[in-house]
A and B are shown apart, each in its own frame.
Chain A
């Protein structure tokens, strides 16, 4: 018997994370804002119902939210990241075959012979809620594409109470595919959707029933695979293996625009410090650093500028001092006076395991000293808090700091911000 694929999706994930720790917002509309408190990026069910749209700029919905006694949060990524990690780890209690697809979605590979799929799905949903406080929806089917459709459907209102839809070998599949727009099929983008619609293929069911040679001519092999998945033929691989990090990025939008070189440099070196810490934590060393800066995306041409540059070295290193030298040289090349910068960031790439540094260590006494120094600095900062020891050239977060006026506490990651109980 063919294995079943389940897609688990945390409902309104960011808003749900906030609710786990804030008893006062259990029944209120909740929204979470993007970086710098710009737009709505997550909504609780109640917020959807009062008509707050995804991506709406805060200033447009602020009065609506106030009128409905809604709770507004700045994004709290440490909290969401930690909660996501817990959810994903816990899924391994049900099957070892888990593919983490995004921060709030995972595919599970289930053997229908071993368990009743419905019973299992309900039990996963119930346990995950009890263990983490996060509500989830589950869609089950023969393939990933069908599981996606089942999941979307499980979220729909009439099924909310259960949050589970099992389409594995189900006679409900045909009806649901007939009600699913072809554009809503996973993997069908805007252009493919347009091509299908001009050929009068409007629903997922029609796509499934169309001759595969025709689909292949229209949408290449990629589209043909999706059509096959709709027929219950597995074409998309189950990817369990976590790929090793290829690069580490640290970038942020500034709370206000910055035009001064000194401030841009400070921000860039701050990002670099964070990225280097992360890199050493994974026992990696970098061969290259990319620096990028940019003005607001929406600025008209004469005031718009963005550029990036990469410095790549012969030797990999894990020392801030060395990477800082590379970064400053690179930044100097792309920085232009007279622009109002909104974003900056750095990417460490060409990552290699730091054991590979040993060879260099023996050759280069200066490097060896730096390597030890960095390890010591990381240990001190871990013990006594971020930036207890830092390089003189690196300032702590300055005027470019992210605007986050409504952030909740880091309940799960900061000793001083724990949930208070009476």
Chain B
């Protein structure tokens, strides 16, 4: 290796490098980052401030199994899920009848209310009078993807 003096530092020429190395950008590994919300209290109240509110901590129980998806249609409008509502989905929570779930039917992903009646019949219920319930029969390629734990609507 050749060494060249240069300002406060030195430059080495030569050497081998592995071009094929994979790189993962760390800033993309944490699912959702919201900037801190400053309480902005005047100084006399400083003693009473415990900490800032962290929405991630309040809303996300299992960060590693929580995903965000976005609603598109109006079939769930009566439970506050509009086109463009962002849904927080936790895949670790067991789903039960009455839960709002993300489900895959064949090659489509949808958000509906899961309804299981006493006979074990499974229905996906829309929350809009204009839509009909979908009965989940044996022959359907069906999978529950996760439970919707929170809807985010901007106003």
Instruction: Say which residue of A26, A292, A333 sits within 8 Å of B107 (CB atoms).
Output: A26
Instruction: Say which residue of A82, A308, A326, A343 sits within 8 Å of B31 (CB atoms).
Output: A82
Query: B10 to chain A: which residues have CB within 8 Å?
Result: 311-312
Query: B31 to chain A: which residues have CB within 8 Å?
Result: 82, 412-413
Query: A333 to chain B: which residues have CB within 8 Å?
Result: 4, 11, 13
Instruction: Say which residue of B4, B23, B29, B92 sits within 8 Å of A85 (CB atoms).
Output: B29
Are A23 and B23 touching (Cβ within 8 A)? no
Complex alpha-carbon distance, A311 and B12, angstroms: 7
Are A420 and B70 touching (Cβ within 8 A)? yes
**Interface residue tally on A, bucketed by range:** 35 or more
Are A419 and B33 touching (Cβ within 8 A)? no
Tell yes or no: B72 within 8 A of A by CB. yes
Query: B4 to chain A: which residues have CB within 8 Å?
Result: 333
Interface residues of A in 93-138 (CB under 8 A from B): 103, 130-133
Tell yes or no: B15 within 8 A of A by CB. yes
0 or 1 for each of B30-41: is its CB under 8 Å from A? (1 = yes): 010101000000
Query: A421 to chain B: which residues have CB within 8 Å?
Result: 69-72, 87, 102, 109-111
Query: A81 to chain B: which residues have CB within 8 Å?
Result: 24-25, 28-29
Interface residues of B in 97-131 (CB under 8 A from A): 102, 104, 106-111
Of residues B23, B70, B71, B87, which shows the largest number of chain A Cβ atoms within 10 Å of its Cβ?
B23
Contact A413 to B28, CB < 8 A, known contacts A309-B11, A333-B4: yes
Complex alpha-carbon distance, A292 and B13, angstroms: 10
Tell yes or no: A258 within 8 A of B by CB. no
Q: Which of A190-198, A259-267, A275-283 contacts B (4 or more CB under 8 A)?
A: A275-283
Q: For residue A294, give the distance in angstroms from its CB to the closest CB of chain B.
A: 7
Of residues B6, B28, B69, B104, which shows the largest number of chain A Cβ atoms within 10 Å of its Cβ?
B28
Tell yes or no: A410 within 8 A of B by CB. yes
Instruction: Say which residue of A78, A90, A334, A412 sits within 8 Å of B67 (CB atoms).
Output: A412
Instruction: Say which residue of A78, A90, A274, A314 sits within 8 Å of B9 (CB atoms).
Output: A314
Interface residues of A in 294-313 (CB under 8 A from B): 294, 297, 307-313
Are A251 and B21 touching (Cβ within 8 A)? yes
Are A422 and B28 touching (Cβ within 8 A)? no
Instruction: Say which residue of A253, A410, A422 sits within 8 Å of B72 (CB atoms).
Output: A422
B-contacting residues of A (Cβ < 8 Å)?
A: 23-26, 77-78, 80-82, 84-86, 89-90, 103, 130-133, 249-251, 253, 274, 277-278, 281-282, 288, 290, 292, 294, 297, 307-315, 326, 329-330, 333-334, 343, 345, 347, 379, 382-383, 410-413, 415, 418-422
Additional A-B contacts beyond A310-B15, A333-B4 (5; CB < 8 A) = A89-B64, A130-B91, A251-B19, A411-B67, A419-B67
Closest 5 CB pairs of A and B: A81-B24, A24-B107, A313-B9, A413-B28, A78-B28
